[in-house]
Each structure stands twice: as structure tokens, then as C-alpha cells.
Amino acid sequence: MGSNQSVGIVEPKTAVLGDLRLDNGSVLSPTVVAYETYGTLSPNKDNAILVCHALSGDAHAAGFHSEGEKRPGWWDEYIGPGKAFDTNQFFIISSNVIGGCKGSSGPMSINPVSGKPYGSSFPFVSIKDMVAAQKLLVESFGIQRLLCVAGGSMGGMQALQWSISYPDSLENCIILASSAEHSAMQIAFNEVGRQAILSDPNWNNGLYEDSATPRKGLALARMMGHITYLSDHKMREKFGRKPPIGNLLNSDFAVGSYLIYQGESFVDRFDANSYIYVTKALDHFSLGKGQELTKALSPAHCRFLVVSYSSDWLYPPSQSREIVKSLEASDKRVFYVELTTNEGHDSFLLPNQRQEDVIRGFLNMPVNE
């Protein structure tokens, strides 16, 4: 990788923005967005890059919140001095999506009418709504045009939506391990996760208390999701058919013990309602296929980089190629790379020198190429 340097200690910030009319007609007032920034905004405000996170991510994309923190932000391998998103060169903005549970407006926010958390009474949020909230945040910096919007998985959907919602507001768009719409299989995995939450005895129609959250259901949802993030090769390499360390009360196999751990640790950092809201936003996002997708992408006039991963069976390369084909059909400037990996869908999050080289090369390529 390009550099071992980190952006260091970063401060989480919150912006209280104006009213936002959502896709379903509801009005979010005020619109609160949690965010972090890395690097320095140029005097001309022309070096800003917005990084969009995936399903379980948040605004903490790089660096550390304190000296004692052991794990950096989720994309620290790629954001920092000398890295692909070079903070010596670019001003990086990362925000938590609305509908999430890490500081932006969402089900855990206080409803000003009741004085209690919204819970399941929070309005439905779409990918388009998430992007609209990000646009308000970007405008609050006085930035009229982003150098780039980038993201993987759900973040790639947001980046793609940016290119058509605000075509004059970005020069480049990077889409990693993503899709223009979910397939029936992708919806099915999310539906099983949601049903696990709804079946939890503590669900209470989404109006649960902090002292009795649907932990078991959310843990099961995470276990289901986590299976799809890895490849068969990675699971065989990591676990095979080995027994778990310790007793067999919870699982007969190491892979089962690992999934249980992933589920139990996830419930301490995520909210069940937010999981339902965000997965529904994913499932309802649809720009179509074929000619329908080509028409949907026609407003865009930025330059695109689309990256897929050979072992990703959740968002397979065929879905990335569908985006590329439609961009080419509508005469857009697009570069496509399929990286050979064994890591599965999570490949875009993991260290990969080829991925770093591709991103860096794209960002530093002259605009007219």
C-alpha cells in the first residue's frame, strides 16, 4: 500500500441543516448529518471528495477518535497522507446516512412531537434521500462542485445516484462492488434479516426501549448478512470444517462460532430499526436494466470508474458490467476494472495494491482523458 501514515485523531462533527422533503412526501425537520473530514479544503474549494459508506458503515472512515482506540475508520487503508485518497492533496468528507444510527437523523433521533425516539415511526428513507442530505452537507461547506463521489456496495449506489441527481455537482464518480438495482436474491437475503428482527420477542412493532432491544433478531440478521460478505474460498481458508475453540454449546464448527461473535458484537454498535430502514432503502433502489438503465443514467456527465471483484457473489461483476454497458451506451466516459481476489464482497474494504493504484490513477488522470 502507498503509505502507513494515518490521518491521526479526528473529531466527529454534526451538522444541523435545513428541511428536507423526502421521496415519500414527508419532511425531515431539521436534517441532522454526522460527518468527519480529512485533509484541507483548497481556497478554491475544488479538491473535495465525498466518500459514501456501505450498509453497516458510518462517518468514521479514517483515523482514530482517541489515542487509545485500536481500530481506525473503516477505509483507513485508502484515506490518508500518500494513500489512494491522499489527504495531502484532497479534502475528504465522510457522512453517516440519514436513516442510520450513528448521529444522523434516523429512528434513534428524538421526535420533537413526542419527545421520544422515532423508532419505527421515522419516515421511509431512500438512497435518493440519503444523497439529498449529503448535498445539503456539501453545500454547507460552500462547495459547489465535488472533485469526486466514491463508495462501495451501498456507497456505490449513493455515488451512482449523485451522478444523476446532481450531474453538475461532481467531476468524477467511483463505484466499487455495487449495482444499479438489487436482484431477487439480494432482496431475499435482506428480507430474511428483517424477518429475524421482526420475530424477536423484544421487537414491539419497532417501539422497543433501550433496556429491551431486539438483540437476538439483529444478531441473526447480521449473521445472515456476514455470510454474503465473504467468499467460499475465504471461508474454507479461514475455517474449513474445524471445530470451535472451547465448548460446543453454541456451534459445532468454527465458522458458526465466528458468525455468532459477529452477530453479538454488531448489536452493540447498531440499531435494529436502522438495519430495517437501510436494507429497505437498498432493496427499493432501482435504476433498471438495459435500456431503462441507460435512460436513467443519461443525465450524468461526470467521468466514471467502476470496479468489481472476481470472488464477489453478493454483488457479482455482471452487475458492475451492466452499469458500464449502460454508461457506454449513453456515451459516458467510463473506466472498468475487474480485480481478481479471493476475499468476496468485502474486497473493496481490504488492502489491495492494485485497487489503490487504480483509484489513484483515476483521480490523478487529466480531466480530458
Task: Report residue 306 as a C-alpha cell.
Answer: 467502476
Query: Which residue has cell 482517541?
Result: 66
Active site residues: 153, 312, 345
- Label residues 328-358 b or e (16+ Cβ within 10 Å = b): eebebbbbbbebebebbbbbbbeebeebbeb
Task: Report residue 331 as a C-alpha cell.
Answer: 456515451
Query: Which residue has cell 477505509?
Result: 75
Structural domains of the chain, with CATH: 13-181+286-364 (3.40.50.1820), 186-280 (1.10.1740.110)
- Which amino acid type is present at position 363? L
User: 17 Cβ partners below 8 Å, 6+ apart?
Assistant: 30, 31, 32, 33, 133, 136, 137, 140
Check whether the bond before 30 is cis (ω within 30° of 0): yes
Residue 250: per-residue pLDDT: 73
Residue 252: per-residue pLDDT: 85
Q: Which residues of the chain have pLDDT under 50?
A: none
Is the CB of residue 99 less than 8 Å from the CB of residue 122? yes
Residue 220: per-residue pLDDT: 97
Residue 5: per-residue pLDDT: 85
- Which amino acid type is present at position 111? N
Task: Report residue 251 as a C-alpha cell.
Answer: 456451534
Asked whether residue 303 is marked as a ligand-binding residue, the answer is no
Residue 243: per-residue pLDDT: 87
The Cα–Cα gap between 299 and 364 comes to: 24
Residue 2: per-residue pLDDT: 61
The Cα–Cα gap between 152 and 77 comes to: 14
pTM across the whole model: 0.96
What single-letter DSSP state applies at residue 205?
G
User: 129 Cβ partners below 8 Å, 6+ apart?
Assistant: 20, 22, 23, 98, 99, 281
DSSP string, 307-351: EEETT-SSS-HHHHHHHHHHHHHTT-EEEEEEE--SSGGGGGGS-
Residue 1: per-residue pLDDT: 57
- Which amino acid type is present at position 209? E
- Which amino acid type is present at position 221? A
Task: Report residue 295 as a C-alpha cell.
Answer: 435512460
Q: Where are the alpha helices (DSSP H) in 199-271?
A: 215-229, 232-238, 254-266
